[in-house]
């Protein structure tokens, strides 16, 4: 089951969501950190994400899961759910979009993925390898959901790291403005009709890395 379908069941169950909220976007909130991973030759090889889900989504996602310790889940116990999540991300291009010197780059399927559960919230960890490692002067990486079903916010502390980047590379993070207020004015049918299918682009987290 994909993340959207899973959260759709949560809405259908009517769990603590007021009607006014249930009919507005976004429905899922993610706090993210990202690492851009470089090879010894200075080429970027991929992106390592850690996405922490909001309390409500986390609570529903683990509902019914068996665990040895009540209220606690090991990565092994969360393994099938992690696999389901990463498989469902493919349809949405992993909400991760990269351009190297203006050219669109593509990713292979996620590797090294797992879920952990801490302080009542789930965090999904996974690495997206680039199909073709590149050594651009400028790399632009954007993380967002085009439909704004999911709201991505980069973490306040250490949101982005460059791992093994060449000396002299400079990173800049452009955070989006809060789109929730605007989204509240648009009803669910507006999004379903596709009139705002790219609404989320207005609220993309944009990472720019310039290298000498």
pLDDT digits (tens, 9 = 90+) for 36-81: 999 999 999 999 999 999 998 898 888 888 888 888 899 999 998 8
Query: What residue has token string 């609570």?
Result: 59
DSSP state letter for 107? B
Q: What is the pLDDT of residue 78?
A: 93
Q: Two tokens at 188?
A: 């669910």
3-state secondary structure of 84: helix
Query: What residue has token string 């116990």?
Result: 77
Query: What residue has token string 């982005």?
Result: 160
In the chain, how many H helices and how many E strands? 6, 11
User: Is-above-0.85 flag for pTM?
Assistant: no
Q: What is the pLDDT of residue 178?
A: 55
Mean pLDDT of 116-130: 96
Closest CA to 182 of 20, 26, 10, 6: 26
């Amino acid at each position: 089951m994909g993340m959207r379908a899973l959260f759709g069941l949560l809405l259908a169950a009517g769990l603590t969501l007021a009607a006014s909220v249930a009919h507005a976007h976004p429905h899922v909130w993610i706090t993210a950190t990202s690492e851009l991973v470089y090879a010894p030759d200075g080429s970027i090889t991929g992106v390592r994400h850690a996405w922490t889900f909001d309390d409500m989504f986390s609570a529903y996602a683990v509902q019914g899961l068996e665990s040895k310790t009540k209220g606690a889940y090991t990565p092994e116990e969360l393994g099938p759910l992690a696999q389901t999540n990463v498989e469902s991300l493919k349809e949405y291009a992993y909400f991760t979009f990269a351009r190297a010197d203006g050219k669109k780059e593509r990713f292979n399927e996620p590797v090294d993925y797992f879920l952990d559960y801490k302080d009542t919230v789930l965090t999904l960890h996974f690495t997206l390898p680039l199909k073709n490692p590149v050594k651009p002067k400028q790399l632009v990486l954007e993380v967002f959901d085009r439909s704004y079903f999911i709201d991505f916010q980069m973490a306040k502390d250490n949101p982005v790291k460059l791992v093994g980047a060449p000396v002299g590379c400079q990173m800049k993070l452009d955070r989006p403005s809060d789109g929730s207020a605007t989204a509240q004015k648009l009803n669910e049918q507006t999004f379903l009709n596709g009139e705002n299918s790219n609404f989320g682009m207005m609220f993309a987290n944009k990472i720019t890395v310039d290298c000498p």
